[in-house]
Amino acid sequence: MQCECGSSYVGETGRTLKTRLKEHKRAIRYDDQNKGIAVHANTTCHTIQWEEAEILAKEQDWHKEVQRSATHQRRKQHHELGSRQAN
Ligand SMILES: [Zn+2]
């Protein structure tokens, strides 16, 4: 999670980046004082670079999906590729 000023906030491990993104966005909307990035964004009026984080999240999913699909049938992989493009 990176701010326009260069500060970055790394969330807890064990959850996907996508989940953390959702939590951070909610934290900022509700001014959650427990989230460093929310406090930072709300007190400095900085813009968090969600797009970059979202691209990272997609890449993370992509790698996971490729690994999982490698053990599956090729047809299944095609199906998953198709659903992702639909999103
Ligand atoms: Zn900042």
What pLDDT is attached to residue 7?
A: 85
Ligand 1 ion: residues within 5 Å (CB): 3, 5, 7, 46
User: For 13-27, what is each residue's pLDDT tens digit?
Assistant: 567 778 888 888 888
Half-sphere CA count of 53, side-chain side, radius 13 A:
22
The yes-or-no verdict on residue 64 having pLDDT over 70 is yes
What pLDDT is attached to residue 84?
A: 64
User: 20 or 43: which carries more pLDDT confidence?
Assistant: 43
Listed by start position, the domains of the chain span 1-56, 58-87
CA of 38 to the centre of ligand 1 (A): 10
pLDDT confidence bin for 85, thresholds 50/70/90:
low
Task: Identify the bridge partners of residue 2 per DSSP, sorted by sequence position.
Answer: 8
DSSP-based three-state secondary structure for 71: coil
* Cβ atoms within 10 Å of 27's Cβ, excluding its own: 20
Claim: this prediction has a pTM higher than 0.95: no
Q: How many helices (H) and strands (E) would you count in the chain?
A: 4, 0
Residue owning tokens 């004082």: 33
CA of 20 to the centre of ligand 1 (A): 18
User: 23 or 78: which carries more pLDDT confidence?
Assistant: 23
